[in-house]
Amino acid sequence: MKRIYALFMASILTVSLAGCSTGSKTVSGTFSGTAKGMGDVTVTITLKDDVITDVQAVGENETDGIGSAAIEKLPPEMVSGNTINVDTVTGATITSEAIISAASAALEAAGKDPKDYQTKASASAAEDTEETADIVIVGAGGAGMTAAITAVNAGSSVIVVESQAMVGGNSARSTGGLNAAGTEAQQQNTFDEAAGVEKTLASAADKYADNETITALAAKVKDQWDAYQSNPSGYFDSVELMELDTMIGGKGINNPELVQTLCANSSDAIDWLASINANLTSVSSFGGASVKRIHRPVNAEGKTVAVGSYLIPILEKTLSDAGVQVMLNTTADSILVDDKGNAVGITAKGADGQTVTIHASAVILATGGFGANLDMVAELKPELKGFMTTNAPGAQGQGIVMAEAVGAGVVDMDQIQIHPTVQFDSAALITEGLRGDGAILVNAEGKRFIDEVGTRDVVSAAEIAQTGSYSWLIIDQKMVDASSVIQGYISKGYTISGETAEELAAAINVDSASLAETLKTWNAAVAAESDPEFNRTSFAEPLDTAPYYAIKVTAGVHHTMGGLTISPNTEVLNTEGNVIPGLYAAGEITGGVHGANRLGGNAVTDFVVFGRIAGTNASAYVK
């Protein structure tokens, strides 16, 4: 009887081991493991006789367009190679490593040794290829995808090449929004514009009296403002005021024609995005803007979300629906020109080292800037040596080098922007929108030290001058409840919290009395809409709802304002100022739009406005 019972129990154990550890026995079944990425990443592996037949990865907190690309890319590679020894996705290293670790844990749950699944899948020899299209676009960030969608809609055939394993580039990392003047969303709100407009006009008169462009813009804005005050109707903003803000933000060295093009087409950029179901309806403050002008997306709960992770998937889907060929892991290395000097295609290197040649009647460069190439940054601006960067890994400046090789001119190459709110430990970008929505910056002594919505260069310089060259960004629960972006920062471990100002001060090691007094003074300034200490003119809600949160931030390389010289039609100009036929450029690869300092919110405007212009004009050139 005991023997029969033992045999019965053994049979049950054998059946259950399809999903349990079985030592050295051949295993079939489904097993899961979890590892920490930006949040928890769970990988489920299906084995059949020890062979990986399926891999599924899930990570709800991984960044859209970045970590999600690794979740999409790595599991099929594990299946095809029967291995967990796969290359991480550049730019999504944290998520990639979490997937690999979780896969290892799943194999251990199966009773298998992960070391047995470390054989690197051998890449088959790839042959050189040639392709032909009307237009080839180099770079699949915001500018490149916008240009591609516009060109296809104009009737052109398009091929897009992208050096990284995912689309998006720096655009995917954008957390703020899109600056636009005179939009319907602005008109649907009522804000107090007076203090900001008057401050800008005073700055123009005081600091830029010798700049003819700024003086002329200021005169137009003053006339518009006087007329508005005599007969207020709706919300006050104008193309000229946006131009004035952009020129002042750029220290007056911007190309006025490019600035005018940017601002005059900004409202239409909002409408175009809406036409592809990308709606930016929340309007708020951002550094350097006289009025509330930055347009941001909201989720189904009405909470603001990061603009990059919102827009990039929509642009990618629109591109896919249009049938555009996108060649990932394909790095362009030269521009082809004919004997007349016309751009007629590119060469590139594929993922397996093969040469890819694309013949085209026009080339659009949208490779971004060089903010991830810290050697290039330090060479052009030595004082930035050793700074961290917020840039995507693909921002290496290779598009600029390629264009220079065929005679393109460059401008403002030493104008490199640092951003004041980069998370101290991870180099993650913390959106300027928090400051626009009412957050403040305090130093190691618990005191404010600057107008938080000043231009990025001014705020960064003030922050660097503080003890330790860092600051704490202070927010409250009311702000958390209104923003899924902040909730994401909390889930990623960027925040420290306290139930009171004093408790938060103790947690971040600043003087409790100083921080409490700072919050009291600030909340009084919000109530009075007057900031005698630092002359801030943008106010939102007071910071008065516990618990309170702090994010440790410092300055990091964020944007390169310099790049290729272009016309307002996005034609690339040579070193003598003449058009290089068939060669266009849009986005951060170009120079002249932002001058010495880019205003937050203008980069997204830049890639939509000039991406559309590039796609339209390249198509017209082809035809």
What residues act catalytically? Answer: 456
72 in Cβ contact with 89 (< 8 Å): no
CA distance 280 to 295: 5
- How many other β-carbons are positioned within 10 Å of the β-carbon of residue 101? 19
Work out whether strand 178-179 and strand 40-48 pair parallel, antiparallel, or are unpaired: unpaired
CA atoms within 13 Å, Cβ hemisphere of 383: 8
Give pairs for 482-485: CB < 8 Å, separation 24+.
482/303, 482/304, 482/437, 483/303, 483/304, 483/433, 483/434, 483/437, 484/299, 484/301, 484/303, 484/304, 484/305, 485/175, 485/304, 485/305, 485/306, 485/431, 485/433, 485/434
CA distance 324 to 321: 8
Strand partners, 135: 158, 362
Query: In the block, which residue shows the tokens 């409202």?
Result: 267
Any idea of the CA torsion for 430, 431, 436, 437, to the nearest 10 degrees? Answer: -80
Task: Classify 328 as helix, strand or coil.
Answer: coil
**Residue by residue, what is the 3-state secondary structure of 488-517?**
HHHHCCCEEEECCHHHHHHHHCCCHHHHHH
- How many other β-carbons are positioned within 10 Å of the β-carbon of residue 528? 10
CA distance 142 to 368: 9
List of residues 6+ apart from 321 with CB closer than 8 A: none
CA distance 303 to 290: 24
Two tokens, residue 393: 């890994």
CA distance 609 to 584: 14
Determine which helix (DSSP H) or strand (DSSP E) holds 460, and give its type and residue range: helix 456-464
Q: Tell me 468's DSSP state.
A: G
* CA 82 and chain centroid, separation: 34
* CA 264 and chain centroid, separation: 23
Cα–Cα–Cα angle for 393, 180, 437, rounded to 5 degrees: 75
Size of the chain, expressed as the number of residues it contains: 623
246 in Cβ contact with 255 (< 8 Å): no
Query: In the block, which residue shows the tokens 């603009």?
Result: 307
Residue 42, φ and ψ in degrees, nearest 5:
-110, 130
Residue 513, amino acid = A
